Amino acid sequence: MKPYYQDDYCTVYHGDCREILPTLPKVDLVLTDPPYGIGFKQTKTSGRSNKKHWNIKHTDTIAGDDVNFEPSLFVNQPAILWGANNYSSRLPDSGGWLVFDKKRTDATRAGFIASDAELAWTNLFNTVRLFSYLWNGLCRQSEIGEHYHVMQKPVALMKWCFSFSPDTTTTLDPFMGSGTTLRAAKDLRRKAIGIEIEEKYCEIAVKRLQQEVLAL
């Protein structure tokens, strides 16, 4: 299958991962944040002009989030799967969990119904590891104003995930979204493959990947 985008580090495919995965070579690590099957919707209100104000409600949804996620394709290889508390009954037992603490205080938590932390299942080790990083709506420790995806993770979080697999050569993110995993891989000068079913996010990921690689 022809890539949507390719450079020295990253390859992006546009399509359904279930169709693309059989055509890909073996990878060393699966690092992804899949749709969980919770039917997530985010309603936004806008906008404004010099002459008038108006309210237009539009809803962002996530492709594939209307069905339960089936992790069996990914658990028989080294993997880090975010959102795993939402599908833990379909995962093998593991003592390996990653915790993304968003550092919400009582003041910053007000008005938000989202979780204070997110969890990832992993079979790389059998302990629990914690990553604390401010990521609370507009209040962010990094990537200020860079709002690409409703379930976006910080690049720093994905770089932290890579630290648990230092010998990884090629990483796969079959639910790439806006390309955070690939951006982190490229910054670390690692190879990564991303698959995304929605072309609008492929376009965003490509723009992020075309930025210069940050100095190590």
Q: Scanning the structure block, which residue is given the tokens 């010998």?
A: 167
Which residues constitute the domain of residue 138?
A: 5-32+64-209
Whole-number Cα distances in Å, 206 to 33, 183, 184, 186: 18, 9, 13, 12
pLDDT tens per residue across span 170-179: 999 999 999 9
**Residue 89, domain CATH:** 3.40.50.150
Residue 120 contacts residue 131 (beta carbons within 8 Å):
no
Residues 73-103: tens digit of each pLDDT: 999 999 999 999 999 999 999 999 999 999 9
Distance CA 102, CA 47 (A): 29
pTM above 0.85, yes or no: no
Number of domains in the chain: 1
What is the Cα–Cα distance from 107 to 49, expressed in whole angstroms? 31
Residue with tokens 């690590």: 29
Q: Is residue 150 part of a domain?
A: yes
